[in-house]
A and B are shown apart, each in its own frame.
Chain A
Amino acid sequence: MPKTRSSRVLIVGALLLMIVAVGLFAAACGSSTETTTTAAPATDTTAAPASTETTAAPATDTTAPASTDTTAAAPSAAGYTFGMLLVGPYNDHGWSQANYEAGQYVEQKTGAKMIYVDKVNTADRPGTTPEQLAEDLVNQGAKMIFFTSDDMKDGVVAFAKAHPDIPVLFTSGDTAWKDGKDFQNLPNVSDIMGKMEYGKMMAGAAAALTTQTGKIGFLGPLINDETRRLAASAYLGARYAWTEILKKDPAQLKFTVNWIGFWFNIPGVTSDPTQVADNFFQQGYDVVISGIDTTEALVEAGKLAANGKKVWAIPYDFAGSLDEAPTVALGVPYFNWGPAYVKAVTLAASGKWASFWDWNAPDWTDINNPDTSAVGFKKGQGLSADASAQLDEFIKALAGGLNLWKGPLNLQDGTVYLKDGEVATDQQIWYLPQLLQGMEGQSVSK
């Protein structure tokens, strides 16, 4: 009977396949030792030539003498492995890539080795938590963990409590700030943030110096203390350039913030940043400053410019992001986490880890020095020669002590934020409760 024969063929076939599967499996087990070791990241950890730039170690304004003296001696953390959690893809041309490349910088400067997980958010990795992924990194050999997004705060706290012996660095956090509102006594947690307020002021100034319609759009991520103060900084820079440099009527400057809901696009969850940027441009906003982790605003500006529209954009976070649409980019305020991360890894590797909170300013002697400046601004081709010169003057003024976080300043609802002549404290800036008067857009998420 044919059915018996074919069923036999099927059984024999299935058995054969099963044997193959078992064989594959056995082979997998057998070859595991070699394959796992070759899997290490292909970075060039060839005894970092740390001697060259160490003279310029983070002497800017950070308060850690430990890092300066330890980095002076060649590779200080060779053989040390640190783990990094990135909220977005490691190659996002934005926030996550800036962190990732800082990790590579640490590898180069200290000889330490980085392992990482990217896309650490519950939309991309459902069913996981940052603390769980951090433990996976620890199991793979990480001796300290970088949590590189404000969104990982709960994970930081949970992980730090469960593993009090493992140094934790929380980028952009305030949990280790003794004078902060969210201070938590976790001795193994330190926080690092760059004073991006300056970078955003420069971005705002570049936008105001360029706009022809007087309308600047700010593509915001989600609404929190950090994003409010950064959007406000961009506005302060724009207003200064508009009224003090260009001597124009403040009433003619429109500055609108539109929040998408998260640091990057999550289809179906956030607003589509491409769409939001496009709306800005269609409504006559000719410069869009991006506050999100990715480069949609610049890409969209590039597309529209290719069709003859006069529009520009300013990306964020990552120095290399200008390449997405070089001709319409006015510049990019970016984080340079490298020096601060070298400090952190060096401290941890040498057993000197202690809780600190660093809010690092740019190195005003050269804001774009990769070895010293926590925050930089890289100009783009879209910035005209005039505007570029005026921006330089502005940067020089900032370096000389110009403070735009000075009264009189009102909050968006009209209440007084800073009285005339009053200078904002770090707390007032960090925890800015609303957008400022003169800015349009939501101050608090509804």
Chain B
Amino acid sequence: MADLAARVRDHFTRERWINIGLQIGALVLALVLTTVILVAAGAPPLSAYWQIIKGAVGSVTGFSNVLVAWVPLLLAASGVLVTFAAGLWNIGVEGQIVFGAVLTTWVMRLMQDTAMSPALVIIIALIAGMVGGALWAALAGVLKTFGGVNEIFGGLGLNYVAAALTLWLIFGPWKRPGIGSMSGTEPFPDKLALPTIAGLRLSPWSLGLGILAVIIVYILLERTYFGLKLKATGASNRAAFLLGVPTWQYGLVAFLACGALAGLAGAVQVTAVYHRLIPSISSGYGYLGLMIGMLIAYRAAWVAPIALFFAALNIGSIQLPIVLKLDSTLSGVLQGALVLFVVLVEGARQRYLRRAGLKPGGA
């Protein structure tokens, strides 16, 4: 027995090292691919990377902008983790952000001219965002549970509906006086904005919300019986069901939790970043959150650093067009390549482990 335990321990440490090595390898492969693209485009790769780093962490404003982007990414990615744990591909997270933003805007429009205290309005608006996101997620969940519509297709469809709804509202009932503008609805008065740190766009409140969300999701998934059952549902729906886990209820709850977090991201975009509803209010953070989820495969502890890395890439890459006349979508290429290679490497690892006669463990 002792011998076996040692072997198992030995195996796990070795596997752990292999995993770390593999993931670094994936990162390097992604960098190599991006570099090849840069070179092919005739751009100096090293100064491109340098500009990204400088843009992201080279100044207080730059880094605070990174944190501004980090918050919705944190919320979306940690929400996605909950659904991932339940084995659900909640691609509808994008639409859940959008619908959260829509409800937040709606509530603020209703209350902005009342005598209610701004703080209360903001709190209600944030809650409305969470409710909105949860409702939108519930739609995907109900479609999945009772309609037999795969959550990927349902979610994707609902994303389009949410985007179309936003556009209709901005150019229709919520348009600025006489003008339908791509720049969105009329901005809310300053008093209805989440307070920011002087001179920066960063709101400590939204930052706090983002960090709190990650902690809650981490505890929920890693330290609670609920999280265990959720993961059991995700690992094998049937086995979990046979063991007495009410699986479809758990799936729905996962949808609601993810939707609430995504909706909060939308609410933060409205109350702390744009101060109005704009056509692309989600800024693609839902899809980025999904990529982060795939990249870190379930492990909640990794949400914060990887989301920060993605946010830094997004903000830093804005320097590329300014300084190097490069398109800033390069950061998207790097992010996409990263996810691709990590998934690829993970696939290769599992294949290798199977061939070696070992049961593939957690990634």
Binding site for B on A (CB under 8 A): 2-4, 6-7, 10-11, 13-15, 17-18, 20-21, 24-25, 27-29, 31-32, 35-36, 38-39, 41, 115-119, 121-123, 125-129, 132-133, 135-137, 139-140, 151-154, 162, 222-225, 261-263, 266, 268-269, 433, 444-446
Beyond A36-B323, A126-B284, A127-B283, whether A18 also contacts B24 by CB under 8 A is yes
Given the complex of chains A and B, what is the CA–CA distance between A116 and B324 in angstroms? 11
| Most A Cβ at <10 Å: residue of B49, B50, B171 | B50
* Docked pose: A122 CA to B5 CA in angstroms: 56
A28 touches B46 (CB 8 A): yes
15 residue pairs bridging A and B, Cβ less than 8 Å apart: A13-B25, A17-B24, A20-B28, A28-B50, A38-B44, A39-B44, A117-B318, A118-B321, A154-B187, A162-B199, A224-B180, A224-B181, A261-B180, A269-B167, A269-B279
CA distance A224 to B259 in the complex (A): 36
A53 vs chain B, min Cβ distance (A): 28
- The docked-state distance in angstroms from the alpha carbon of A154 to that of B185 is 10
Closest B residue to A445 by CB, please name it.
B180
Indicate if B319 sits at the interface (CB-CB under 8 A). yes
Residues of A within 8 A of B283 (CB): 122, 126-127
CB closest chain-A residue, reference B23: A14
Are B322's CB and A116's CB within 8 A?
yes
A21-B325 contact in complex given A136-B55, A139-B59, A222-B182, C-beta closer than 8 Å: no
B17 contacts the other chain (CB 8 A) = yes
Q: Which of B21, B278, B319, B352 has the largest number of chain A CB atoms within 10 A?
A: B21
CB distance from B200 to the nearest CB of A (A): 10
Chain B residue contacts of A14, Cβ below 8 A: 20-22, 24-25, 28
Q: Once the chains bind, are B199 and A151 in contact (CB under 8 Å)? A: no
B172's partner among A25, A116, A445 (CB-CB below 8 A) is: A445
Q: How far is the CB of A297 from chain B (nearest CB, A)?
A: 20
B144 close to A (CB within 8 Å): no
Chain B residues, CB < 8 A from A7 = 14, 18
Tell me whether B21 and A136 are in contact (CB under 8 A): no
- CB of B274 within 8 A of CB of A129, answer yes
Which of A14, A24, A162: most chain B CB closer than 10 A? Answer: A14
Contact of B69 among A127, A223, A225 (CB under 8 A): A127
Q: How many residues of B contact A (CB 8 A)?
A: 65
B178 contacts partner chain A, Cβ-Cβ < 8 Å: yes
B273 at the interface (CB under 8 A from A): yes
Task: Evaluate contact between B356 and A133: CB separation under 8 angstroms.
Answer: no
Whether, in the assembled complex, B27 has its beta carbon less than 8 Å from a beta carbon of chain A, the answer is: yes
Near A by CB (< 8 A), chain B positions 80-137 give none
B65 partner residues in chain A, CB cutoff 8 A: 132
A117 and B321 CA atoms in complex are apart in Å by 6
> Which residues of B does A touch, CB under 8 Å?
14, 17-18, 20-22, 24-25, 27-29, 31, 35, 44, 46-47, 49-51, 53-55, 59, 61-62, 65, 69, 163, 167, 171-172, 175, 178-184, 187, 199, 201, 273-274, 276, 278-280, 282-285, 314-315, 318-319, 321-325, 328, 352, 356, 358
Give A185 to B284 CA distance when docked, in angstroms.
35
Instruction: Kindly name the residue among A13, A125, A126, A152 whose own CB sees the greatest number of chain B CB atoms within 10 A.
Output: A126
Contact A122 B47 (CB under 8 A): no
Asked if A10 contacts B18 (CB within 8 A), the reply is yes
Q: In the complex the two chains form, what is the Cα distance from A6 to B199 in whole Å?
A: 54
Chain A residues, CB < 8 A from B280: 122-123, 126
Q: Using A20-B28, A129-B273 as known contacts, say yes or no to A35 and B46 having CB atoms under 8 A apart.
A: yes
Q: How far is the CB of A114 from chain B (nearest CB, A)?
A: 11
Contact check, A35 vs B356: say whether CB atoms are below 8 A apart: no
* One of A28, A39, A123 near B279 (C-beta < 8 A): A123
Query: Given known contacts A11-B17, A117-B322, A446-B172, is B328 in contact with A125 (CB within 8 Å)?
Result: yes
Looking at chain B's contact residues, is the secondary structure mostly helix, strand, loop, or mixed?
helix
Partner of B46, one of A3, A10, A27, A152: A27
Q: How far is the CB of A334 from chain B (nearest CB, A)?
A: 23
How distant is the Cα of A444 from the Cα of B179 in the complex, in angstroms? Answer: 7
CA distance A21 to B171 in the complex (A): 48
Residues of B within 8 A of A118 (CB): 321
* Distance (whole angstroms) from the CB of B306 to the closest CB of chain A: 17
| Chain B residues closer than 8 Å to A135, beta-carbon distance | 61
In-complex Cβ contact of B356 among A3, A41, A224, A433 (8 A): A3
Besides the known contacts A6-B352, A119-B321, A133-B318, 17 further A-B residue pairs in the complex with CB atoms under 8 A apart: A3-B356, A14-B20, A14-B24, A17-B24, A28-B53, A35-B46, A36-B51, A39-B44, A121-B182, A122-B182, A125-B318, A126-B284, A126-B285, A127-B285, A127-B314, A137-B322, A446-B171
Q: Are B28 and A21 in contact (CB under 8 A)?
A: yes
Q: How far is the CA of A15 from the CA of B35 in the complex (A)?
A: 19
CB distance from B123 to the nearest CB of A (A): 24
Q: Indicate if the CB atoms of A151 and B47 lie closer than 8 Å.
A: no
> What CA separation (Å) do A41 and B321 show in the bound complex?
11
A380 to B214, CA, bound (A): 61
CA A2 to CA B18, docked complex, whole Å: 15
Among A29, A121, A127, A222, residue most surrounded by chain B Cβ atoms (within 10 Å): A127
Name the A residues within 8 Å of B29 (CB-CB). Answer: 17
Q: Please state if B178 and A224 are interface contacts (CB–CB under 8 Å).
A: yes
In whole angstroms, how far apart are the Cα atoms of A261 and B279 in the complex? 12
- Considering the complex, give the chain A residue whose CB is closest to the CB of B179: A224
Bound form: Cα–Cα A222–B172 in Å: 12
* Interface contact A18-B323, CB-CB below 8 Å: no
Query: Which of B28, B62, B278 has a CB less than 8 Å from the CB of A18?
Result: B28
Residue of A117, A153, A445 ringed by the most chain B CB atoms within 10 A: A445
Give the distance in Å from the alpha carbon of A29 to the alpha carbon of B171 in the complex.
47
The contact of A32 among B24, B47, B55, B314, by CB within 8 Å, is B47
Which B residues lie within 8 Å of A154 (CB)?
A: 183-184, 187, 276
Bound complex: CA A153 to CA B276 (Å) = 13
Given A13, A128, A262, which contacts B182 in the complex, CB threshold below 8 Å?
A262
A17 in complex: contacting residue of B25, B184, B187, B278, CB < 8 Å: B25
> For residue B49, which residues in chain A have a CB less than 8 angstroms away from its CB?
24-25, 28
Query: Within the assembled complex, what's the spacing in Å between the Cα atoms of A127 and B323?
Result: 20
Q: Which 9 A-B pairs have the closest CB atoms?
A: A14-B21, A445-B180, A35-B47, A127-B283, A126-B283, A3-B356, A28-B46, A17-B28, A224-B179
